[in-house]
Amino acid sequence: MLRINVNGKDRVIQEDLDPEIPLLWVLRDSLNMVGTKFGCGAGFCGACTVHINGQPTRSCQVPAAMVAQQNAKVTTIEGLGGENGALHPLQKVWIDMDVPQCGYCQAGQLMTAAALLKNNGAPSDADIDSAMAGNICRCGTYNRIKAGIKAAAAMAQGGKPAGTRAQGAPKDNDTHAEKEATHERG
């Protein structure tokens, strides 16, 4: 049995689980919280990112038993927004600016971006690049992700609301810059 605090609620998993089972699989298979994605399973892609005690963490690399033992607080994409389905500012911007393409990596991208903005309300390009470097997007949405983070930061500081993608987030992911970004980040 495991007891894990997820999105503010204690969740009890009665199954007899392998003690080494990663948090990712407990979230997805035991708790049916499938917003957190399996990408590489090896700590390289960031698709499985959740927050553990506020820190962006790859849930494929953390034993669920350890999370339970430490009484750690887990936040997943399902808990990123507020009560009653309220969206996190980043989620609003992601929709307004049409950031995702296939969407597979985007829960991880959002969780990493949310942790960044919590600690740094006005991140520079370099701050964003550094914070997001470990989150891979096979669709090459890096430019839109960066524009989205900047727009959410501006919104939080009382700036202009997030605009459309025409205000700095190219929709066509075949742009030269995005191809380069995709290439550089493998």
- Told to check if 104 binds ligand FES by CB under 6 A, we report yes
The nearest distance, CB 181 to ligand FES, in angstroms, is 12
Strands (DSSP E) along the chain, which ranges?
A: 2-6, 9-13, 49-52, 55-58, 73-75
- Told to check if 50 binds ligand FES by CB under 6 A, we report no
Cβ distance to ligand FES smaller for residue 95 or 102: 102
Cβ contact 77:84 at 8 Å: no
Rule CB under 6 A: choose which of 48, 107, 153, 169 binds ligand FES.
Answer: 48
Which parts of 72-101 interact with ligand FES (CB under 6 A)? Answer: 100-101
Stretch of 10-18, 69-77, 132-140, 161-169 contacting ligand FES, by CB under 6 A = 132-140
Number of residues that bind ligand FES (CB under 6 A): 23
Rule CB under 6 A: choose which of 13, 44, 63, 163 binds ligand FES.
Answer: 44
Structure tokens at 116: 């960044």
Cβ distance to ligand FES smaller for residue 46 or 123: 46
* Long-range contacts (CB closer than 8 Å, 24 or more residues apart) made by 99-104: 99/141, 99/144, 99/145, 99/147, 99/148, 99/169, 100/139, 100/141, 101/137, 101/139, 101/140, 101/141, 101/173, 102/138, 102/139, 104/37, 104/39, 104/47, 104/138
- The footprint of ligand FES (CB under 6 A) covers 38-41, 43-48, 58, 60, 100-106, 137-139, 141
